[in-house]
Structure 1
Amino acid sequence: MTDLSTLESKLDEIMEIVVRANPPELMTTQECAAYLKCSAERLYQMRKEGGGPRFCQPTDRWVRYRRADVDAWVQGKTEM
């Protein structure tokens, strides 16, 4: 029987493939991390430090990233 951590790892891989193939206009932290191929923890750290892609926070508990803002942030990083 496959353990839970292996299943979670496989699910994360599948989510990354799906998100990168068809990213939503408004992404959760996990979706944005999959789109950028980084960890959700790294995005959190960048937010905390005042860096990373622009985000919106419609409520105290929700953080969302607009795909256009993420793409613009990536483009700005590659032009440096």
Structure 2
Amino acid sequence: MEMMTGKLLGFAMVLTRISAFFIVLPVFGWKSVPVRVKVAMTVLISIFFLTITPLSIDASQVSSLKAILLIANEATYGLALG
């Protein structure tokens, strides 16, 4: 169960970074691109990066506050990259 929680937290971190990146990317900011396409691209790219990126997150040592801070950190990185 803890391994699944760690993978879920890792996916949330990758998804947050990619989502924040796509939010500020000019091409995906256009209104001509449907929301479903934006969401699908974000999820597919996040799954791709999750499979090639080794994440070593021990979910038993991560509190709720630390998880929120980790996800906020990923959002900041994504916004800065975009």
TM tier, smaller = 0.3 to 0.5
| Structure having the larger proportion of residues in helix | 2
| Higher normalized contact order (CA 8 Å, seq sep 6+, divided by chain length) | 2
